Structure 1
Amino acid sequence: MRKWSRKNSLGGLKLRTEMDAREAGVLRSLIGAVTGLLNERAQSAPDDELAALTGMRTGNAEPPEDPRLRRLLPDFHRSEPGSPDADRAGLNSALRGLHEPEIIDSKLAAGSVVLDTLPTDGGKIVLTPEQADAWLAALTDVRLALGTVLGVDADTPDHLDPDDPRGPHLDVYHWLTWMQDSLLQALAP
């Protein structure tokens, strides 16, 4: 993949790069995996009679069990252990039930923009600033999910032992990080 570049044209600002077929396939697969998780979560929301009457969608009140989804759909409020408001499960459930469908929709829309603008067999990619924002959001979601699986934290080394089976996946994580950083730099004036 080439570094993202910015080009001002008569049609406005465009962000450009080029990706080979293998890179495009990896990115499509990762976006597809994350959107698949999000779709499953959305479809698992319980039926709500009030939602059926009002047309207002509700989501799951309980946090996801899958650690990747817990990272993508965190609690709305986190208290310090031992603080007087440490038990906020009811508040989190209510907020999750109200807002999770919209959050999932937003994440799915960002993934859809990537899939729509990424050539299947690789090639040139040209984005508007709005599409670039969607790419940034989708790349963040993929990095969060992959980072959760790999256990990435502040102490994770840049390279793992050659015998560590996580090594190639960490390389993909770093590639996604580089891609996201390159796009952010190209967006900056």
Structure 2
Amino acid sequence: MYEGPVQDLIDELGKLPGIGPKSAQRIAFHFLSVEPPEIERLQNALQKIRDGVQFCIVCGTVADKETCRICSDPRRDRTMICVVEEPKDVQAVERTREFRGRYHVLGGALDPLSGIGPDQLRIRELMTRVGNQEDGIDVTEVIIATDPNTEGEATATYLVRMLRVFPGLSVTRLASGLPMGGDLEFADELTLGRALSGRRAM
């Protein structure tokens, strides 16, 4: 235990996700050695978050304007919407450079035990987007890219049921299975089972 502000900083850093006591201590002592302008830049960034982060009015991801750069890009395919749980998931899909459509951020996943039901997520907004044409263009495919865990699967199942009301709409789910470079012997039963059920012709 350290005294005063240093221990306070270590305690606060330790509350952040993915940062344990050792990491919190290293970061705190790093701040003791940096120049004041670096601390001020961090303070300003935190201040901007506290003052309120802006979210895209179309897809719900973090944006610096009313509409994010993806939704305002006319080159993106308006017929496809990829549904994700959080804004960080948008960046994960973008890094693949495989998807040229648009996104819809739910703001989480269904988790009744934590009090998160359909009304706490942006499902109503998704239904509105799918049901309305944009500049005469219909949405023809919704790709559900929720996490492959219990909450994500429950959310995907719920969305499939809700989206059935739109005739001609293709609803797909991201494939899941074995990672590239992995060994079969180290795969858990669930992952290997999903890989088998999702097998494709070569």
TM range (shorter): under 0.3
Q: Whose radius of gyration is greater, 1 or 2?
A: 2
TM-score by length of 1: 0.25
**TM, length-normalised to structure 2:** 0.24
Question: Quick one: higher RCO (CA 8 Å, sep 6+), 1 or 2?
Answer: 1
